[in-house]
C-alpha cells in the first residue's frame, strides 16, 4: 500500500470546490455528480423561459491562450504597420514622470516596445518632462525599472527636456513662418474666442494680427523673463474655424516660474505637450507614434505642426486604453489611499500600480500575456480584476514549483510513525524542476480547517476514526483523540492506517522544525466593481477584509531551495536583469494559493504574499 500511495500522490488533483487533493478517479466521480446536479438545476430554472445565455456576471470566462505576439500579427497593429510598412520601425514609450505607472501603462509598454521588437526595430523610453511642477526623481527611476522588469530594453532613454534648445528654435521658426503669435489674453477671453459656453462664433484676438517681428521680440522677452506667468504665452496660429478644438490656436509655450528637474533654472518658459510631442517624435525619427484614443483629435494638430515646420513627419495612430474595473488607477485617488493609510504604500499588493503588481509577485511574463490575450483595437478595454487573476493563475500553474505551507497549523502526533526522509518533486508534471528531500517527523502540522471534532458522512478530511492521506506520506492517518484548551483544539493524536482502501482525500502538512512565516492574503480592496461610482465615494467602498494576515504559518524546508533557485520562472524579464527581487521567489502552496516573498521580509522573518488564489474566489 505504501508504494501505491507515494506513486498515487504524484497524480492527485485539486478538487477546486472543496480544496481537497483527491485521486483522478475520485475527482471524475465528483465532477460527474456535480454536473448532473447542475444540469438538473438548470433544466428546472429554464423550464418556464429559455433565455439568459449570457455569461454570469463576475464569472471568469475561459481565457483562450493567445499566440505570443499575436497582437502584432493581426488586427489593429498589423493594419497600422501596413499603412506605413517601413523599416526600421522606430517607436517610443513617452510617460510623464509625474507618478508611478499602472497596469494600463503595461499595455502602452507592450504595444510600443513590442511593435518595434516584432518588426525588428527599436523603441525609445522618452520622459515627457515638460511640466516641471509635477515631476520627481523617484518617478524617473521607477519608470525605468518597470520597463526593464517587463523585459524591454530601450534603444535609448531620452528626455523631452534634452530638446528644450532645439524646441525653442522650432518655435522661432514657427513664428517666422507666421505660424505662431504671442498672446496676452486671460482665460475668460480665450474661452470666449473659442465660442464660450454657448458655442457661439469663434474669432481670433488682436494679438494674432501682430507682425512676425513683434512676435519674435515678445517671445524672446518671454524667454528672458520679461513676463510673469500668465502675462504672455505663445499660441500656434492654426485654424480657429475648424470643427476640431485641437486646432483652435493652442498654446505652444507658457511662462513658468519653476525649476526643472534636469535643466534647473535655465528656462523661464516651457513648451506644451501639443508643441513638444510631435516635434520630439520627429527629432527621434519615430515611424509609428502609438498612443491612446484620447489623442485622436490631437492627431490633426500633431500633423499640422510637423508639416508647417517642414520636418520629418511620423505617423500617429491611437489604440484603446486598458481599464481594470474593481480598482482605482487615478494618481490622485491612489495618493489618498496611501496618505490616509488605507494601504501600505504605492506598492501595496492590493493596488494596480506596476510596482504593486510586481511586489505582489505577479511575473512580468503574465502581464504581457494578459495584454496579448486581450488584443489591441481602437476600443477601450474594460476588464474585471478576476480576468487578470485568471491569466496570472494559468501562467503560474506551469511555471512555478509546489511547496507545502500551513496557514493555521495544528499539531498531529502520529503515534506509530517513525522519522522518514521523503523525496518530493517540485512539480510532479514537470520533472525538470527536480525534487527535494523532506523529513517527515512523528509530529506534523496540518491546517486547522482540515480537522473536525465530529465526523460526518460527507466529510473527507481528518476526524476521529476517519482516514485521510498526508501528501507524499506512505500511509494515511486517522485521528484517535484530541486535546482542547477551551474551544480550541491544541493537539490531535493519530495513527497510521496500513490496511484497507486508499483514502478519498489528501491534505498538506509540514514537519516539525518548519520555518514560521507570515502570510498576507490579499483580497479585492473594494467591495464593488465600480468603486468610483459607490455611494459615499471610493473610500466608503473599501473592503475591510482586503488583507488577512496569518502570522504563525509554517513553510516546509523545500522553500530554501526554491529561494536559492529564483527567479521563478527563469525565462521572465527579471532573469535578464541578472537577479530577481524577493517577489521572484514564487511557488504554489499546495491547496492554499500561489505565493511570493514580500519585500518587507528580513533574514529572520519571511513574509509571503498571496499572488493569486488557486481558483476564482467564490465571493466575486
Ligand X SMILES: Nc1ncnc2c1ncn2[C@@H]1O[C@H](COP(=O)(O)OP(=O)(O)OP(=O)(O)O)[C@@H](O)[C@H]1O
Ligand Y SMILES: NC(=O)CC[C@H](N)C(=O)O
Where are the alpha helices (H) located in 47-136, listed in sequence order? 70-73, 75-83, 103-118
The window from 97-105, 191-199, 384-392, 417-425 that contacts ligand X (CB under 6 A) reads: 97-105
Pairwise CA distance, residues 228 & 222, whole Å: 8
Instruction: Please select the residue that binds ligand X; options are 23, 104, 282, 610, rule is CB under 6 A.
Output: 104
Pairwise CA distance, residues 260 & 140, whole Å: 13
| Catalytic residue of the set 202, 262, 321, 493 | 321
Give whichever of 273 and 459 is closer to ligand Y, judged by the CB atom.
Answer: 273
Instruction: Please select the residue that binds ligand Y; options are 94, 99, 364, 531, rule is CB under 6 A.
Output: 94
Give whichever of 94 and 558 is closer to ligand Y, judged by the CB atom.
Answer: 94
Give whichever of 330 and 481 is closer to ligand Y, judged by the CB atom.
Answer: 330
Pairwise CA distance, residues 287 & 537, whole Å: 43
- 249: DSSP letter: -
Give whichever of 285 and 379 is closer to ligand X, judged by the CB atom.
Answer: 379
Pairwise CA distance, residues 461 & 369, whole Å: 37
- 348-371 b/e (C-beta count within 10 Å ≥ 16 → b): bbbbbbbbbbbbbbbbbbbbbbbb
Instruction: Please select the residue that binds ligand Y; options are 96, 303, 408, 512, rule is CB under 6 A.
Output: 96
| Catalytic residue of the set 30, 96, 394, 439 | 96
Pairwise CA distance, residues 610 & 360, whole Å: 7
Pairwise CA distance, residues 416 & 477, whole Å: 10
Give whichever of 248 and 295 is closer to ligand Y, judged by the CB atom.
Answer: 295
The window from 6-14, 104-112, 241-249, 357-365 that contacts ligand X (CB under 6 A) reads: 104-112
First CA to last CA across the chain, in angstroms? 42
Q: Is residue 353 a contact partner of residue 359, using CB atoms and an 8 Å limit?
A: no
- Residue 331 binds which entry of ligand Y, ligand X, none, with Cβ cut-offs from 5 to 8 Å by kind? ligand X
Pairwise CA distance, residues 81 & 388, whole Å: 28
For the question of residue 321 being annotated catalytic, the response is yes
291 contributes a contact to ligand X by CB under 6 A = yes
- Residue 107 binds which entry of ligand X, ligand Y, none, with Cβ cut-offs from 5 to 8 Å by kind? ligand X
Give whichever of 175 and 376 is closer to ligand X, judged by the CB atom.
Answer: 376
- Residue 250 binds which entry of ligand X, ligand Y, none, with Cβ cut-offs from 5 to 8 Å by kind? none
518 CB contacts (<8 Å, ≥6 apart)? Answer: 549, 550, 551, 553, 605, 606, 607, 608
The window from 89-97, 135-143, 369-377, 388-396 that contacts ligand Y (CB under 6 A) reads: 89-97
115 contributes a contact to ligand Y by CB under 6 A = no
Pairwise CA distance, residues 462 & 492, whole Å: 10
* Size of site (CB under 6 A) for ligand X: 16
The window from 165-173, 320-328, 429-437, 548-556 that contacts ligand X (CB under 6 A) reads: 320-328
- Nearest distance from C-beta of residue 90 to ligand X, angstroms: 15
Long-range contacts made by residues 183-186, C-beta under 8 angstroms, separation at least 24? 183/207, 183/208, 183/232, 183/233, 183/234, 183/235, 183/249, 184/231, 184/232, 186/230
Instruction: Please select the residue that binds ligand X; options are 144, 194, 220, 331, rule is CB under 6 A.
Output: 331
Q: Is the dihedral of CA 470, 472, 473, 476 positive or negative?
A: positive
- Residue 273 binds which entry of ligand Y, ligand X, none, with Cβ cut-offs from 5 to 8 Å by kind? ligand Y
Which residues pair with residue 218 across a beta bridge?
none
- The secondary element (H helix, E strand) that includes residue 182 is strand 180-183
| Catalytic residue of the set 202, 226, 331, 439 | 331
For the question of residue 26 being annotated catalytic, the response is no
Binding mask 123-152 toward ligand Y (x if CB under 6 A, else -) reads: -----x------------------------
- Nearest distance from C-beta of residue 195 to ligand Y, angstroms: 25
Pairwise CA distance, residues 404 & 402, whole Å: 7
Nearest-5° Cα angle at 80, 77 to 82 = 110
Give whichever of 295 and 538 is closer to ligand Y, judged by the CB atom.
Answer: 295
Instruction: Please select the residue that binds ligand X; options are 322, 446, 473, 477, rule is CB under 6 A.
Output: 322
For the question of residue 331 being annotated catalytic, the response is yes
Pairwise CA distance, residues 585 & 361, whole Å: 8
Instruction: Please select the residue that binds ligand X; options are 77, 107, 164, 462, rule is CB under 6 A.
Output: 107
Find the binding residues for ligand Y in span 277-306 (CB under 6 A). 277, 291, 295
Binding residues for ligand X, rule: CB under 6 A, are 94-96, 99, 104-105, 107-108, 128, 291-292, 321-323, 329, 331
Binding residues for ligand Y, rule: CB under 6 A, are 94-96, 128, 273, 277, 291, 295
| Residues with active-site annotation | 96, 321, 331
Amino acid at each position: 500500500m505504501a508504494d501505491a500511495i507515494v506513486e498515487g500522490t504524484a497524480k492527485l488533483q485539486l478538487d477546486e470546490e472543496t480544496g481537497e487533493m483527491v485521486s483522478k478517479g475520485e475527482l471524475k466521480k465528483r465532477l460527474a455528480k456535480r454536473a448532473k446536479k447542475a444540469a438538473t438545476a438548470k433544466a428546472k430554472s429554464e423550464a418556464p423561459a429559455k433565455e439568459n445565455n449570457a455569461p454570469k456576471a463576475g464569472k471568469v470566462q475561459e481565457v483562450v491562450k493567445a499566440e505570443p505576439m499575436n497582437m502584432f500579427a493581426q488586427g489593429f497593429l498589423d493594419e497600422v504597420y501596413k499603412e506605413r510598412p517601413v523599416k526600421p520601425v522606430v517607436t517610443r514609450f513617452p510617460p510623464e514622470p509625474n507618478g508611478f505607472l499602472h497596469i494600463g501603462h503595461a499595455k502602452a509598454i507592450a504595444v510600443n516596445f513590442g511593435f518595434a521588437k516584432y518588426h525588428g526595430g527599436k523603441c525609445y523610453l522618452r520622459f515627457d518632462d515638460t511640466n516641471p511642477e509635477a515631476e520627481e526623481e523617484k518617478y524617473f527611476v521607477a519608470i525605468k525599472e518597470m520597463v526593464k522588469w517587463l523585459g524591454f530594453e530601450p534603444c535609448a532613454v531620452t528626455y523631452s527636456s534634452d530638446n528644450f534648445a532645439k524646441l525653442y528654435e522650432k518655435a522661432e521658426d514657427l513664428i517666422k513662418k507666421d505660424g505662431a503669435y504671442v498672446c496676452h489674453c486671460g482665460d475668460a477671453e480665450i474661452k470666449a474666442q473659442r465660442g464660450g459656453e454657448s458655442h457661439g462664433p469663434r474669432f481670433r484676438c488682436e494679438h494674432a494680427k501682430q507682425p512676425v517681428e513683434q512676435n519674435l521680440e515678445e517671445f524672446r522677452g518671454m524667454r528672458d523673463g520679461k513676463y510673469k506667468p500668465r502675462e504672455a504665452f505663445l499660441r500656434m496660429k492654426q485654424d480657429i474655424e475648424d470643427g476640431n478644438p485641437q486646432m483652435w490656436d493652442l498654446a505652444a509655450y507658457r511662462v513658468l516660474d519653476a525649476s526643472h528637474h534636469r535643466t534647473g533654472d535655465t528656462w523661464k518658459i516651457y513648451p506644451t505637450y501639443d508643441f513638444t510631442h510631435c516635434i520630439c517624435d520627429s527629432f527621434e525619427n519615430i515611424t509609428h507614434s502609438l498612443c491612446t484614443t484620447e489623442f485622436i483629435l490631437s492627431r490633426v494638430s500633431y500633423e499640422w505642426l510637423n508639416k508647417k515646420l517642414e520636418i520629418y513627419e511620423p505617423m500617429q495612430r491611437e489604440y484603446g486604453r486598458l481599464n481594470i474595473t474593481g480598482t482605482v488607477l487615478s494618481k490622485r485617488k491612489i495618493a489618498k489611499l496611501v496618505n490616509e493609510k488605507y494601504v501600505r504604500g504605492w506598492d501595496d499588493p492590493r493596488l494596480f500600480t506596476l510596482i504593486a503588481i510586481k511586489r505582489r509577485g505577479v511575473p512580468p511574463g503574465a502581464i504581457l500575456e494578459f495584454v496579448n490575450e486581450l488584443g489591441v483595437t481602437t476600443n477601450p478595454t474594460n476588464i474585471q480584476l478576476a480576468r487578470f487573476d485568471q491569466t496570472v493563475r494559468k501562467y503560474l500553474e506551469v511555471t512555478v514549483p509546489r511547496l507545502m505551507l500551513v496557514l493555521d497549523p495544528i499539531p498531529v502526533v502520529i503515534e506509530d510513525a517513525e522519522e522518514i526522509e521523503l523525496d518530493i518533486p517540485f512539480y510532479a508534471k514537470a520533472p525538470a524542476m527536480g525534487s527535494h528531500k523532506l523529513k517527515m517527523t512523528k509530529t506534523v502540522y496540518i491546517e486547522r480547517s482540515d480537522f473536525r471534532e465530529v465526523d460526518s458522512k460527507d466529510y473527507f478530511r481528518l476526524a476521529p476514526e476517519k482516514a485521510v492521506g498526508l501528501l507524499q506520506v506512505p500511509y494515511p492517518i486517522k485521528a484517535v483523540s484530541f486535546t482542547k484548551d477551551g474551544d480550541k483544539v491544541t493537539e490531535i493524536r493519530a495513527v497510521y492506517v496500513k490496511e484497507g482502501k486508499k483514502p478519498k482525500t489528501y491534505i498538506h502538512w509540514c514537519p516539525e522544525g518548519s520555518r514560521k512565516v507570515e502570510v498576507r492574503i490579499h483580497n479585492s480592496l473594494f467591495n464593488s466593481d465600480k468603486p468610483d461610482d459607490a455611494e459615499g465615494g471610493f473610500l466608503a467602498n473599501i473592503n475591510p477584509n482586503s488583507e488577512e494576515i496569518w502570522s504563525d504559518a509554517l513553510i516546509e524546508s523545500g522553500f530554501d531551495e526554491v529561494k536559492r533557485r529564483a527567479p521563478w520562472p527563469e525565462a521572465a524579464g527579471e532573469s535578464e536583469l541578472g537577479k530577481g527581487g524577493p517577489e521572484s521567489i514564487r511557488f504554489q502552496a499546495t491547496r492554499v494559493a500561489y505565493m511570493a516573498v514580500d519585500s518587507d521580509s528580513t533574514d529572520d522573518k519571511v513574509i509571503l504574499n498571496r499572488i493569486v488564489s488557486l481558483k476564482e474566489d467564490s465571493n466575486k
